[in-house]
Amino acid sequence: MNNTQAAIGMSKMMSLEHLSSIRGAESSEAVEKLFEAIKNAKSSNSDSSHRLKNTAVELDDLRNDEVIESSEDVKKLIRQNFPMEKNGYLVVAKVIEE
Amino acid sequence: MGSEIQRIHQLLVEKKISCTDLVQGKLDELTKSTSNTSNFLLTDYALNLAKKVDQNIANGKEIGILEGIPFGIKDVYLLQGSPASGSSDFLRNYISPYTATAIQKLLDAGAIPIVKENCDSFGHGSSNENSVFGAVKNAVNEKLVAGGSSGGSAVNVAKGYTVFSIGGDTGGSVRQPAGYNKVYGLKPTYGRISRYGIMAYASSTDVVGPIARTMEDILMVLNVMSGKDYHDQTTINSDNISLSDCQDKEAAQKLKVGYYKSFINNKAIEPGIKTDFMALIEKIKGQGIEVVELDFLDSETLVSTYYTLAMAETASNLARLDGTNYGNRITGTNLKDTYAITRSENFTVETKRRIVGGNQVLSQGHSEEIYLKARQIRDIITEQFESEFEEVDIILSPVSPNNVPEIGNSLKDPMTMYLSDAYTVGFSLGGLPTLSVPVGPSTGLQVTAAKNQELKILQFSNLITA
């Protein structure tokens, strides 16, 4: 099964168009070539469950889980960047349950 | 060539030039330029800061070395109250709500940002043609690309429109345009400079990188921007590097050098680049420096590993761009339709290619076969670097295997564009510090050391450019 077939098979679960929220999204030839090279590359450990290096930040180095209030300047700019406003309200898209 | 920052600082201190005239002069040059390097000029902001510097000087106050120095910012950084478009239609009208840590540190040192610089959209490119503001023209030959993704920054420095510029490097985006435009470009050790306030491309390799015309200026800017940051938990502690240590030729002479024969004995490399690189190696040997050959993974594997991981990360990072809270929303019939139209219309073809590729590789059925294998190969690369830097201090390579392409060709053939990153992406995956130096091959020399060994890079670069 090649990547295109895999992508088609996968589409029954969730298409690339759906995953990417991009209309007409499909696999490209250049990207497929990159993926083929990875599949064919030699790896010292062919076991896919091989434990990958842990690159996470150490627990002791994590910052405190805290809320920091933004300044009024920041809040104002965030509101200004909102795409749509009507009668003092920020407008969002209507959500339809499927 | 001595420090340009130091030279301008002296002119300001001695009142041979006013900061206002200096900044206005640079803004005028940017306005007249046909290189297409500027997305937004920060005219009022910059002139206001320049006026304050002039007042300080007039009042007899001592000014810092970076005070009043005009610099450029790649248009992926946030500067509060100023545009930050990522060279995209999506964020063309976006105003930064806060300031990136790296930029804030430069502001605190008194440097003056004058321009948000053209770049490949969201950093997605190696030629600076993937920009809604148009292609940036090379500083040496306008028919050629500027390189990418920090092309506008490299050209501004090369042309003298900015004294230094702040680019961003994920897989070569500072080093390659610096090489294409014959200036210095540093990719520091991953984590040395905070990424807070930079639009994320691939978070595991994104770094902030200075571009300048001299090694001394790179050093000064690096020292100012480095350090741990509350807002970026991947940041590391680092010590300032002194100029006198960088100029220690005796220490530089003792550095052991390696180069990858797999890079050089490769049919993909331009003959001229190979010849110039090997001539430089012979010159270095002639200076009594020990040089050894090393083996490395083939270019195709390196490029594929990098792009697989970078695409996966950018698909995740750019998922937040859906037009709900900010950006150019295009309203559809419902929420999902709005997402789809907004993202389809506002991302460039190359950005969409990378997002779709990233989602593909992260999806069920592909993740283990491709994504996890790419991560395994990255681990192998990292281990290899660790072992190699027990044997050598410096690894040299050309910045790119090819000559600088003409404008108009790179985006037509994405695979060729990806392969042009063959010599830079491996060091990004390893998180290593590496400097593009304008010597040797026509697209520059890449000088790399082990993590946190920026000093060795600067020492060696000083030696070979003296």
Can you give the three-state secondary structure of chain B, one letter per residue?
A: CCCHHHHHHHHHHCCCCCHHHHHHHHHHHHHHCCCCCEEEECHHHHHHHHHHHHHHHHCCCCCCCCCCCEEEEECCECCCCCECCCCCCCCCCCECCCCCHHHHHHHHCCCEEEEEECCCHHHCCCCCCCCCCCCCECCCCCCEECCCCCHHHHHHHHHCCCCEEEEEECCCCCHHHHHHCCCEEEECCCCCECCCCECCCCCCCCEEEEEECCHHHHHHHHHHHECCECCECCCCCCCCCCHHHHCCHHHHHCCCEEEEHHHHCCCCCCHHHHHHHHHHHHHHHHCCCCEEEECCCCHHHHHHHHHHHHHHHHHHHHHHCCCCCCCCCCCCCCHHHHHHHHHHHHCCHHHHHHHHHHHHHHCCCCHHHHHHHHHHHHHHHHHHHHHHHHHCCEEEEECCCCCCCECCCHHHCHHHHHHCCCCCHHHHHCCCCEEEECCCCCCCEEEECCCCCHHHHHHHHHHHHC
* Per-residue confidence band for A98, with pLDDT thresholds at 50, 70 and 90: low
Coil, strand, or helix at residue B433? coil
CB contact under 8 A, A35 and B366: yes
B427 assigned to some structural domain: no
Provide the shortest C-alpha distance from residue A81 to chain B (in Å).
Answer: 5
Find the CATH number of the domain harbouring B128: 3.90.1300.10
pLDDT at A50: 60
Residue, of B418 and A56, whose pLDDT is higher:
B418
Provide the shortest C-alpha distance from residue A4 to chain B (in Å).
Answer: 10
Residues of A in contact with B196 (CB under 8 A): none
Selected residues 386-445 of chain B with any CB under 8 Å from a CB in chain A: 414-415, 418
B309 assigned to some structural domain: no
Q: Tell me the C-alpha distance between B365 and B249, whole Å.
A: 54
Q: Which residues contact A82 (CB under 8 A, 6 or more apart)?
A: A90, B325, B326
Q: Is the pLDDT of residue A4 over 70?
A: no
Bin B288: left if φ > 0, else alpha if -120 < ψ < 50, else beta.
left
B102 assigned to some structural domain: yes
Domain count for chain B, please give it. Answer: 1
pLDDT at A8: 47
Is B203 in the A-facing interface, judged by CB distances under 8 Å? no
Q: Tell me the C-alpha distance between B446 and B319, whole Å.
A: 34
Q: Which of B191, B426, B433, B209 is nearest to B309 (CA)?
A: B426
Q: Is the pLDDT of residue A13 over 80?
A: no
* Per-residue confidence band for A11, with pLDDT thresholds at 50, 70 and 90: very low
Cβ-contact B356, A28 below 8 angstroms:
yes
Q: Tell me the C-alpha distance between B50 and B68, whole Å.
A: 6
B117 assigned to some structural domain: yes
Nearest to A37 among B233, B300, B372 (CB): B300
CB contact under 8 A, A22 and B325: no
pLDDT at A43: 75
For residue B152, CA distances in Å to A85, B28, B125, B149, B395 come to 35, 16, 13, 8, 28
Region A49-60: what's the mean pLDDT? 77
Out of B26, B74, B105, B451, pick the active-site residue.
Answer: B74
Tokens representing A69?
Answer: 């209030």
Helical (H) or strand (E) element with B40: strand B38-41
* Per-residue confidence band for A1, with pLDDT thresholds at 50, 70 and 90: very low
Provide the shortest C-alpha distance from residue A70 to chain B (in Å).
Answer: 10
| Predicted TM-score (pTM) of this structure | 0.95
CB contact under 8 A, B340 and A22: yes
CB contact under 8 A, B308 and A33: no
Q: Tell me the C-alpha distance between B287 and B373, whole Å.
A: 42
In the block, residue with structure tokens 């681990």: B379
Cα dihedral across residues B402, B407, B413, B417: positive or negative: positive
Out of B3, B35, B149, B400, pick the active-site residue.
Answer: B149
Q: Tell me the C-alpha distance between B401 and B126, whole Å.
A: 13
| Residue of B376, B419, B429 to mutate when probing chain A, most A C-beta within 10 A | B376
| Residue of B199, B360, B366 to mutate when probing chain A, most A C-beta within 10 A | B360
Strand pairing partners for B436?
B185, B446
B424 assigned to some structural domain: no
Residues spanned by the domain of B223: 4-244
Q: Which of B170, B95, B85 is nearest to B131 (CA)?
A: B85
Bin B115: left if φ > 0, else alpha if -120 < ψ < 50, else beta.
beta
Helical (H) or strand (E) element with B292: strand B291-294
Residues of B in contact with A84 (CB under 8 A): 329, 331
pLDDT at A59: 86
> Is B194 designated active site?
no
* Per-residue confidence band for A89, with pLDDT thresholds at 50, 70 and 90: very high
Closest residue in B to A82 (Cα–Cα): B326
Bin B187: left if φ > 0, else alpha if -120 < ψ < 50, else beta.
beta
B410 assigned to some structural domain: no
Counting as low any pLDDT under 70, the low residues of chain B are 1
Q: Tell me the C-alpha distance between A7 and A17, whole Å.
A: 11
Q: Which of B222, B171, B297, B185 is nearest to B455 (CA)?
A: B222
B166 assigned to some structural domain: yes
